[in-house]
Amino acid sequence: MAATLNKLKKDYPWIQTPLIVGAPMRLIALDEIAIEVSRAGGIGFLAAGTDISQTSAHLQKVKASFERQPIKTRDDLLPIGLGFITWGAPLTPSLQLIAQYRPAAIWLFAYKDPDHLTEWVEGVRQASPETRIWIQIGSVAQALETLLLSPDILVVQGADAGGHGLVKGAGLIPLLPEVADSITSGLGEGESKPVLIAAGGIMESRTASAALALGASGVVLGTRLLATPEAAITPGYRNEVLRASDGGQTTVRTKVYDSVRGTTGWSEHYNARGVINRTLRDHEEGLDVEENKKLYEEEVKKGDEGWGFGGRMTTYAGAGVGLVREVKPAADVVREVREGVKEVLGRVVL
């Protein structure tokens, strides 16, 4: 463990441990949150997602911020990460952005197939050799499949995560240790083991401590960061995150939110977790998807009023949404989770 932390601190010299990572939430985690998470000693990710048309502008803002007020980095890399949804993002222009801005890490999510992922990994290594490669996986099978590409980091996503992930999945508690064991036995001689970072249900220090006990070397915050001023979400969305509780009962993994929003392109193996709303209830009662989509499009006009139990606007959020109870700056969230871990682990009496 100590060796792993040393590697992390060498690769990302500005971080403090335990490492807290800001998830590259599509359309939500943009320049502001990435900057704030990294400045607080975490690794902030900027979401390029599937459509990189605005990403250059966001990266420019990040670059300008760290030029004005630098933090310690390595090889002049931009001290944030950049996240891509690989089935949707255009490869060549994405690699051009990576070559131009040289972020410290690239997070690759939702690969079409291993060959396509190989193209991405080799492309990133060529575009910016000093950049570290993070691959998100959600099963033991995916972990073993991506091991051949020698990722620096495997982001292990459990089924409690909000937004997109595998349709079928396990929570982090059984998943992360099994992934750890499998990659240990799956490695060839002399091959180096990727570092495991945990995602899915991590909201505060107890949940972060659990992930570290499982063997993770860092944790990802997604849903928790929705309730920060730096997240690019509307008040309606943010209020619904604050309202929802008992997420095992009030969120669900489904494809219907993608359908009504017209987000096509996700393979059959992926769906997304969101708070149950009228779209979902209508869908379960048999409403035709096209009709549901029309109702959604009408609802969009309502703005913030369109969210909530009776609304139709989508609130992607994880099963731990009930642990999100107040809005606070992203930097404060990162520091509180990090600093709370020591206390939580100290409280465990055996």
Tell which residue, 260, 255, 235, has the closest CA to residue 312.
260
* CB of 206 or CB of 335, closer to a second copy: 206
Q: C-beta of 221: minimal distance to a second copy in Å?
A: 12
* CB of 99 or CB of 323, closer to a second copy: 323
Whether the CB-CB separation of 223 and 157 falls below 8 Å is answered with no
Which stretch in 55-63, 91-99, 196-204, 280-288 sits in contact with a second copy by CB under 8 A?
Answer: 196-204
Residues 279-318 that bind a second copy (CB under 8 A): 318
- Torsion sign, CA atoms 210, 214, 215, 221: negative
Residues 136-175 that bind a second copy (CB under 8 A): 138-141, 158-160, 166, 168-175
- Torsion sign, CA atoms 223, 229, 234, 240: positive
Q: C-beta of 342: minimal distance to a second copy in Å?
A: 6
Q: C-beta of 16: minimal distance to a second copy in Å?
A: 10
Q: C-beta of 343: minimal distance to a second copy in Å?
A: 11
**Phi-psi region at 41: left, alpha or beta (left = phi > 0; alpha = psi -120 to 50):** left
Is residue 328 at the binding interface for a second copy, with CB under 8 A as the rule? no
Among 113, 122, 191, 246, binds a second copy (CB under 8 A): 246
Among 41, 83, 218, 320, binds a second copy (CB under 8 A): 320
Residues 98-127 that bind a second copy (CB under 8 A): none
Number of residues located near a second copy, criterion CB under 8 A = 59
**Beta strands at 103-109 and 78-85: parallel, antiparallel or unpaired:** parallel
In three-state form (DSSP H/G/I as H, E/B as E, the rest C), the secondary structure along 77-133 is: CEEEEEEEECCCCCHHHHHHHHHHHCEEEEEEECCCCHHHHHHHHHHHHHHCCCCEE
Is residue 214 at the binding interface for a second copy, with CB under 8 A as the rule? yes
Kindly state the DSSP code that residue 349 receives in the 8-state scheme.
-
d(CA 346, CA 207): 14
Question: What would the two tokens of residue 336 be?
Answer: 């509180």
Among 178, 232, 309, 335, binds a second copy (CB under 8 A): 178
Q: What is the DSSP string of 195-206?
A: EEEEESS--SHH
Interface contacts to a second copy, rule CB under 8 A? 1-2, 5, 17-18, 138-141, 158-160, 166, 168-178, 181-182, 200-204, 206-207, 209-215, 245-249, 252, 318-320, 322-323, 341-342, 344-345, 347-350
